[in-house]
């Protein structure tokens, strides 16, 4: 008989609700719970936390998830694969081990997969000819080298496969790709070769269809969004994967949302750029022949994907400090709200100029009017508009300059036009982090696995 491996998408981002994952473990009859916690900004935040405290730097929601799901996972033999390790996989694993002891759960093997963090190796790698030029601008890394906060390679699934081969029950990774969280268990279970491009490509299509959690089951659905019931109890997707990499997609039983051709289609085209060449660390997937077929209530069969050899380079997520945001917000009311708002903006800018304000760029938006669409929609000039909310923000080189924005806006209360409100209290300063996308030849990256036992 043909085998089926059931993969559940437990998390889609750091801060996602842990309830869908716990419910899936309880009711979903899955073999693996695959949890994605990372995004580009997440890595910058985690690196900042690690710099302040060496025991931090991972997404602590993995502990909340496992507190609710671990006893059932152990009872049912469900393995957990997660990139919650972020900038500090070892600390995450130690946190999981401590949780196991707290819950009285024994016999659990926790694997730590590392090798993605190359921050301390950058200068040596440059000496070996890796230039780390910015993918978007071509600029050399030297322009931001002294402001780097982290450097993490989007690694593939080889470390996950090895961890599972060693008998891990929970696999904690750093910045592995989202797709790797799903490919690793499938290669381990089916024994696929790492150059079986057809199966890996098909499985990548399947992984991509479910990796964003509720987006495949009716969340963020732009189609018949009003007809999706139970969004407040949205079930997360499950892939029943066959040995050839094809799958039937479904969701946690007795949960909200739905799985149909519409919901799955929208997720499939999310962030893939060229559908014939979807680049991942493990395979270049081809989505162009994919077919979706509804085979039952909340059941969609997905076939037709294939693949080509993996890229010779891996993407690196580097982050660097990019200044601070100075911002102010104020509201003007009828009559003449538009004219008053313009006078208020001029007032603020002149006071900032007098204060020697330094900035590199600025934005002025009218909340509820232009903040989403910008200049593509008309400004709110209606003379009878009841109120206008202005937000002014500027990118500043340091905290001192950023503080000036709110400081100089406060005087609007009694020195500016009448009818002002909402200046409020001083907002917390926000430090800006920017992404430096670049590449590294894959031969410079090696993953390693360490096994901790409870």
Q: Which residues pair with 306 in a beta bridge?
A: 286
Phi and psi at 369, nearest 5°, equal -125, -60
What's the Cα-to-Cα distance from 329 to each of 222, 337, 376, 413, 415, rounded to whole Å? 31, 15, 22, 12, 16
Q: Report how far apart the first and last C-alpha atoms of the chain are (Å, whole number).
A: 36
pLDDT digits (tens, 9 = 90+) for 375-394: 899 999 999 999 999 999 99
Average pLDDT, the chain: 97
Mean pLDDT of 169-196: 98
Q: Which residues pair with 439 in a beta bridge?
A: 315
Decide: 331 and 387 in contact? Cβ < 8 Å.
yes
- 301: helix, coil or strand? strand
Decide: 30 and 80 in contact? Cβ < 8 Å.
no
pLDDT over 60 at 297, yes or no: yes
pLDDT score for 4: 98
Segment (H or E) for 185: helix 180-190
Distance CA 360, CA 405 (A): 14
Q: Which residues pair with 363 in a beta bridge?
A: 393
Burial of 203 (C-beta count, 10 Å sphere; 0-12/13-18/19+):
buried
pLDDT over 70 at 409, yes or no: yes
Burial 352-380 (b: 16+ CB within 10 A, else e): beeeebebeebebbbeeebeeeeeeeeeb
Mean pLDDT of 399-409: 97
Distance CA 370, CA 377 (A): 7
Decide: 321 and 343 in contact? Cβ < 8 Å.
no
What's the Cα-to-Cα distance from 70 to each of 65, 77, 100, rounded to whole Å? 8, 10, 8
- The neighbour count for residue 238, using CB atoms within 10 Å, is 28
CA-nearest of 201, 206, 160 to 181 is 160
pLDDT score for 395: 98
Look up residue 379 and give its two tokens. Answer: 């400004």
Distance CA 100, CA 70 (A): 8
What is the pTM assigned to this prediction?
0.95
pLDDT over 90 at 166, yes or no: yes
Distance CA 217, CA 257 (A): 5
Look up residue 406 and give its two tokens. Answer: 């709110």
State the pLDDT confidence band at 426, using cuts at 50, 70 and 90.
confident
Distance CA 29, CA 47 (A): 36
pLDDT score for 2: 74
pLDDT score for 427: 86
CA atoms within 13 A on the CB side of 241: 31
pLDDT score for 424: 79
pLDDT over 70 at 1, yes or no: no
pLDDT digits (tens, 9 = 90+) for 49-86: 999 999 999 999 999 999 999 999 999 999 999 999 99
Decide: 310 and 319 in contact? Cβ < 8 Å.
no
Distance CA 410, CA 426 (A): 9
Pairing status of strand 109-114 against strand 170-173: parallel
* Ordered DSSP codes for 213-278: GGGGTTTT-SSSGGG---GGGBPPEEEEEETTS-EEEEE-TT-BS--SHHHHHHHHTTT-SSTT-E
pLDDT digits (tens, 9 = 90+) for 305-358: 999 999 999 999 999 999 999 999 999 999 999 999 999 999 999 999 999 999
∠ CA 259-264-265, nearest 5°, is 145
Decide: 70 and 100 in contact? Cβ < 8 Å.
yes
pLDDT digits (tens, 9 = 90+) for 254-288: 999 999 999 999 999 999 999 999 999 999 999 99
Distance CA 188, CA 180 (A): 12
What's the Cα-to-Cα distance from 387 to each of 133, 392, 413, 420, rounded to whole Å? 47, 16, 16, 10
Mean pLDDT of 95-105: 97
CA atoms within 13 A on the CB side of 93: 25
Q: Which residues pair with 319 in a beta bridge?
A: 150, 435
State the pLDDT confidence band at 425, using cuts at 50, 70 and 90.
confident
The domains of the chain, with CATH numbers, are 4-116+154-311 (no CATH), 320-436 (3.30.70)
Task: Tell me how far the alpha carbon of residue 112 is from its chain's centroid.
Answer: 20
Distance CA 38, CA 387 (A): 39
Determine what percent of the chain is predicted with pLDDT higher than 90: 97
Mean pLDDT of 235-244: 98
Distance CA 395, CA 8 (A): 41
DSSP 143: G
């Amino acid at each position: 008989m043909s085998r089926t491996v059931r993969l559940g998408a437990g998390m889609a981002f750091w801060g996602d609700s842990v309830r869908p994952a716990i419910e899936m473990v309880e009711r979903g009859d899955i073999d693996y719970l695959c949890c994605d916690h990372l995004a580009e900004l997440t890595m910058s935040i985690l690196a900042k936390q690690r710099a302040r405290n060496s025991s931090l730097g991972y997404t602590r929601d993995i502990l909340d998830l496992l507190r609710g799901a671990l006893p059932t996972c152990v009872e049912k033999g469900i393995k957990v694969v997660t990139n919650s390790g972020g900038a500090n996989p070892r600390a995450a694993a130690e946190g999981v081990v401590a949780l196991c002891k707290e819950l009285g759960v024994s016999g659990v093997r926790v694997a730590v997969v590392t090798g993605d963090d190359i921050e301390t190796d950058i200068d040596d790698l440059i000496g070996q000819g890796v230039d780390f030029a910015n993918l978007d601008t071509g600029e050399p890394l030297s322009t931001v080298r002294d402001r780097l906060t982290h450097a993490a390679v989007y690694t593939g699934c080889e470390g996950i496969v090895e961890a599972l081969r060693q008998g891990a029950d929970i696999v904690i990774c750093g910045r592995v790709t989202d797709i790797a969280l799903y490919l690793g268990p499938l290669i381990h279970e089916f024994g696929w070769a790492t150059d079986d491009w057809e199966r890996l490509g098909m499985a990548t299509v399947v992984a991509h269809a479910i990796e964003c959690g509720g987006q495949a089951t009716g969340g963020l659905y732009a189609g018949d969004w009003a007809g999706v019931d139970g969004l407040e109890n949205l079930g997360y997707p499950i892939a029943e994967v066959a040995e050839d990499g094809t799958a039937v997609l479904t969701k946690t039983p007795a949960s909200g949302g739905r799985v149909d051709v519409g919901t799955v289609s929208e997720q499939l085209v999310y962030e893939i750029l060229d559908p014939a060449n979807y680049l991942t660390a493990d395979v270049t997937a081809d989505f162009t022949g994919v077919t979706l077929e509804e085979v039952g209530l909340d059941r969609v069969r997905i076939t037709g994907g294939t693949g080509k050899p993996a890229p010779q380079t891996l993407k690196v997520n580097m982050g660097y400090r990019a200044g601070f945001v100075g911002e102010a917000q104020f509201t003007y009311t009828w009559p003449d709200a538009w004219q008053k708002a313009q006078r208020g903006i001029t007032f603020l800018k002149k006071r900032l100029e007098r204060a020697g304000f330094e900035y590199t760029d600025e934005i002025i938006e009218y909340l509820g009017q232009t903040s989403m669409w910008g200049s593509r929609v008309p400004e709110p000039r209606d003379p009878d508009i009841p109120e206008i909310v202005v937000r002014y923000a500027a990118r500043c080189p340091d905290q001192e300059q950023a503080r000036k924005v709110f400081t100089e806006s406060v005087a609007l209360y009694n020195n500016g036009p009448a009818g002002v409100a909402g200046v409020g209290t001083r907002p917390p300063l926000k430090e800006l982090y920017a992404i430096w996308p670049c590449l590294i030849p894959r031969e410079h990256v090696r993953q390693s696995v360490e096994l901790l036992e409870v």
